[in-house]
A and B are shown apart, each in its own frame.
Chain A
Amino acid sequence: MNENFDYSVVESILHEHQCSDKAIIAILQDVQEHYHYLPMELFPYMAKKLKVSEARIYSVATFYENFSLEPKGKYVIKVCDGTACHVRKSIPILDRLRAELGLSEKKKTTDDLLFTVETVSCLGACGLAPVMTVNDKVHPAMTPEKASALIKQLIEEEKNNASE
């Protein structure tokens, strides 16, 4: 077990769910909400507390798309590629974002941990297609140009914050 890790956060989450192995998904969701990803250092500790194998936790963590074992960027951009967004041309938006940030289908997060670009199957906002979200804030009726302007604005804001 990693001595340098602060286990108090996960301890209170486990406690909230009565240390029940049936709540593994909910526990992992809460852990991810806190860390923005699932630090694997926590798995041995959780396994012990939940009285299940580490493999069981790992199996759940890797099955569900929403869980990430890798840290994500400060701005998580999700481009909706649901049917409605797809027919209203969501892919050119995705291509543009990836090209400008130097990302690809495999490489989802920029090296400076500023941006993560991923696709999502459907955000249920089909009436506003094509849609993308930045940290869960919805941006409706996007175009490659609007998306490009948005990331430029975010980068600019970051620079200003850093210089202040």
Chain B
Amino acid sequence: MFEMSGEEIVDEVKKSGIRGRGGAGFPTGIKWDTVRKTESDKKYVVCNGDEGDPGAFMDRSIMEGAPHRVLEGMIIAGIACGADEGYIYVRAEYPLAVTRLKNAIRQAEGLGMLGDNILGSGFSFRIHINRGAGAFVCGEETALINSIEGQRGFPRVRPPLTVIKGLFGKPTVPNNVETYANIPNIINNGGEWYAGIGTPNSPGTKAFALTGNINNTGLIEVPMGTTLREIIFDIGGGMKNGGQFKAVQIGGPSGACLTKEHLDLPLDFDNLKKVGAMVGSGGLVVVDEHTCMVEFARFFMHFTQNESCGKCVPCREGTKRMLQILERIVAGEGRDGDIELLLELADTICNTALCGLGKTAPNPVISTIKNFRSEYEAHIYDKKCPAGACSKLKTISIDPSLCKGCSKCARQCPVNAISGKIKEPFSIDLSKCIRCGSCVSACPFKAIKEG
């Protein structure tokens, strides 16, 4: 571990070609090199375990299942860059990860692998754990650093870059959990070994969280360059309940939707960028024909709008306006020109927001408009939801010829919207109905229709 100099370690990491697993894919070796070359009395290593993207849980499993590998990666980063202190920032929703990491740190300290003068080498390194408190924006590295410092999790204006002026104003290595977990293997087996896996510009493997309407959900680790078809139909076992593959959402609220035409696209950083998507967190959510893409875009916009920290205007105000427009479209109140307005707002936000959260927030909208424009048009002009998912555009009615007047639906209804006389056809008061569908599943005679 101490045979290599800092420079040699950085060279090996550069040779491996590993790119940050946090989503943007910045080459790790270049980050480390900058921190190493920046003169300072104190430097820090930060591990970003604030895995906030809904639908992604790879980092959770690494922190819970292989915490020592993360620690080892951080120690190596410390040796390479000349840092003697590290922070792991873990999402508050992952209490088990915190416990396991704390255990791992205690064990490593007990063995003399962490602390002062590690194994008599003269190198000292300490690792602290910070728990997040439920702010998605803290996954952005400068916001995360503010949060470690005990501040509101606002992103900082860059430059200065984190690698030059980061935590407590000192040069800081910011990397994701999965990146650190890859480092020990790179050092043990050599950069060339690592570069031989995956594709030339995106070497190595990537963990994805595969979820949604497919048979096998869970975590997968595949070489970069694996196609969506292999992931969804071989590993994922195909669509659940015989559904039709409609789209896969990659990269969470910053990512985009890929459709049938992208099934044979080899997944890596550059190919995804070309089609307007990104690896992002690595969440892969597969949806079938019953999912409305406008509602899906609204869902993500609601998420980012909710998590926007409010520091910069484009993100704070822009995402709010986009959400308003999407909300009115799914409520059947869309107007002519809404699609163009959404795209215009998206363009402005992408180009002017302060941090990654804002810059990528419109991605789900842009990509669903690009790939499923007809669904938007159906909502706006025909007041119809082709997937039959938007409840405001749905009506529920009781077929009087099938209803036997058993009152089962009325008893199930949580808002008392159904009334009638026993043994006569019942009726639904649509002004009270919340379209929850519990009457539909309750009816023994299939007399209640949604559509």
Interface residues of A (CB under 8 A from B): 20-26, 28-29, 59-60, 63-67, 81-84, 86-88, 92, 95-96, 99-100, 120-127, 129, 136, 144-145, 148
Within 8 Å by CB of B212, from A25, A87, A121, A136, lies A87
Q: How far is the CA of A51 from the CA of B53 in the complex (A)?
A: 35
Chain B residues with CB below 8 A from A60, complex form: 150-152
Chain B contributes a number of interface residues (CB within 8 A of A) equal to 51
Chain A residue with minimal CB distance to B309? A63
Contact present for A84 and B147 (CB under 8 Å): no
Is B196 engaged at the interface, CB distance under 8 Å to the other chain? no
Point out the residues of chain A lying under 8 angstroms from B437, CB to CB: 92
Q: What is the bound-complex CA distance between A82 and B153, given in angstroms? A: 21
Q: In the complex, what distance in Å separates the CA atom of A120 from the CA atom of B213?
A: 21
Question: Quick check: is B299 within 8 A (CB to CB) of the other chain?
Answer: yes
Q: Interface on B for A, CB 8 Å cutoff?
A: 51-57, 60, 91-95, 130-136, 147-153, 209, 211-213, 217-218, 249, 252, 283, 285, 287, 291, 296, 299-300, 303, 307, 309, 414-415, 434, 436-438
A96→B150 contact, CB < 8 A: no
Q: A83-B299, A87-B291, A124-B51 are in contact. Are A64 and B436 (CB under 8 A)?
A: no
Compute how far the CA of A59 lies from the CA of B218 in the bound complex, rounded to whole angstroms: 38
| Cβ B436 vs Cβ A92 within 8 A | yes
- A25, B150: Cβ atoms closer than 8 Å: yes
Please pick, from B54, B93, B130, B153, the residue contacting A26 in the complex, using a CB distance under 8 A.
Answer: B130
> Considering the chains assembled together, what is the distance between the CA atoms of A23 and B437 in angstroms?
47
Majority DSSP secondary structure for residues of B touching A: loop
Given contacts A87-B212, A87-B285, A144-B436, contact A63 B54 (CB under 8 A): no
Partner of B299, one of A63, A86, A96, A100: A86
Candidates A24, A87, A126; contact of B57 at CB < 8 Å: A126
Which A residues touch B92, using CB under 8 A? Answer: 29, 66
CB distance from B92 to the nearest CB of A (A): 5
Kindly identify which residue among A88, A96, A122, A145 contacts B52, using a CB–CB cutoff of 8 Å.
Answer: A122
What residue of chain B has the Cβ atom nearest to residue A119's Cβ?
B306
Nearest CB in chain B to that of A28: its residue: B133
Interface centre among A29, A121, A124 (most CB of B within 10 A): A124
Q: Tell me how far the C-beta of B107 lies from the nearest C-beta in chain A, rounded to whole angstroms.
A: 22
A60-B151, A83-B299 known; 4 other A-B pairs, CB under 8 Å? Answer: A60-B152, A122-B52, A124-B51, A126-B57
